[in-house]
Amino acid sequence: MYHPSNGSPRTANTWGSGNTACRRCDECDLEAHVLNHCKGRSRGWQLRHNSISDRLKQALLFDGCALISENQSIGPDNLHPDLVFRKGNDIFIIDVTCPFENRLEAFSDARKHKLDKYAPLIPYFANMGLNASIIPILVGALGSWDPKNNAFLKKHMSRSFRYKFEKLCVSETICWSRDIYVEHVTGVHQFTENFPPIETTTSS
């Protein structure tokens, strides 16, 4: 897939005053809009996101973590993190996101947003005598891997498994973004929701 670094419009010459409106809505038809913001593509984003979340869930279950919540309301503010795991007295509040990486701050801004959003859950679990931490997992919509993901993952995966996990998440994200983009441009449905089972590779 071709990725102009400036996120140029898909439907118009950038040097003229042609039509730059999205072919599916009234927003400007930028690549970032197609892959992350056009409401007509929301199902594709969700499935792209879920492919990472589901793979991470299976890996943590294999590591012996207990899943206590999956996309359910938690705490007084009714927050909905993707996954909440417990291991001993430790709680892991995990939220996956696929920001569009068109600038250096894309990952840092997305990570800060997740940390701020779920901060109220830290005292919520502390009142239960549990040590909670917020774990944003970021994979860019164009396939970039945030190295800050590794600080958490290396505690729950062997090095070889973590390397494979990263490659699978990146490749699947690229495939989903490709399908989202092609479907947006052509109007031809690109994916099915009848997925094969997630590969279960041991983390040893």
Residues 45-104: tens digit of each pLDDT: 688 899 999 999 999 999 999 999 999 999 999 999 999 999 999 999 999 999 988 887
- Taking alpha carbons only, the member of 54, 53, 131 closest to residue 95 is 53
- Name the amino acid, one letter, at 164: K
Q: Beta strand pairing status for 131-138 and 83-87?
A: unpaired
Q: What is the pTM of this model?
A: 0.79
pLDDT recorded at residue 197: 45
Question: Among 51, 4, 10, 5, which Cα is nearest to 27's?
Answer: 10
192 in a structural domain: no
Asked whether residue 42 is domain-assigned, the answer is: no
CATH code for the domain in which residue 113 is found: 3.40.1350
- Number of separate domains in the chain: 1
pLDDT tier at 177, thresholds 50, 70, 90? confident
The answer to the question of residue 199 being in a domain is: no
Within 98-188, residue ranges assigned H as helices are 105-117, 121-126, 150-153, 159-186
Looking at per-residue pLDDT, the higher value among 6 and 124 belongs to 124
Report the alpha-carbon distance of residue 45 to residue 91 in Å, rounded. 27
Segments forming the whole domain that contains residue 136: 51-185
pLDDT at residue 36 above 50?
yes
pLDDT computed for residue 24 by the predictor: 58
In a domain, 72, yes or no: yes
